[in-house]
Amino acid sequence: MIRADLRILPATGDKDKVIKLVDKAINIIEASGISREVTPTCTLLMGSLDQILALVKKIHEELSKENICFLTWELRVFEFKP
């Protein structure tokens, strides 16, 4: 089981658009069915590494369609072994 902390920082110069883009990412995460917890600073994900990386790729592809200056990702991955 993998736990990952995902933080997305879109740069647009428009605070309202940043909020819209983060909300779009959260909606994609919620639709994925992966166990998650949204916090003020990141989203915590629980699943297989393949599930998490596929989800990050999907979010990246969707947000890249938007008119943004640049998109910064922070992904920390932790593996738990019993």
Is 90 exceeded by the pLDDT of residue 14?
no
14 or 27: which carries more pLDDT confidence?
A: 27
Q: What local confidence, expressed as pLDDT, does residue 74 receive?
A: 93
Find the distance separating the first CA and the last CA of the chain, reported in whole Å.
9
Instruction: Give the mean model confidence (pLDDT) for residues 14-19.
Output: 84
Residues 31 and 34: their CA atoms lie apart, in Å, by 8
Tens of pLDDT, residue by residue over 22-64, are: 899 999 999 999 999 989 889 999 999 999 999 999 999 998 8
Architecture of the domain made up of 2-79: 2-Layer Sandwich (3.30)
Domain locations in the chain as residue ranges? 2-79
Mean pLDDT, to the nearest integer, of 1-12?
A: 88
Enter the pTM of the model: 0.85
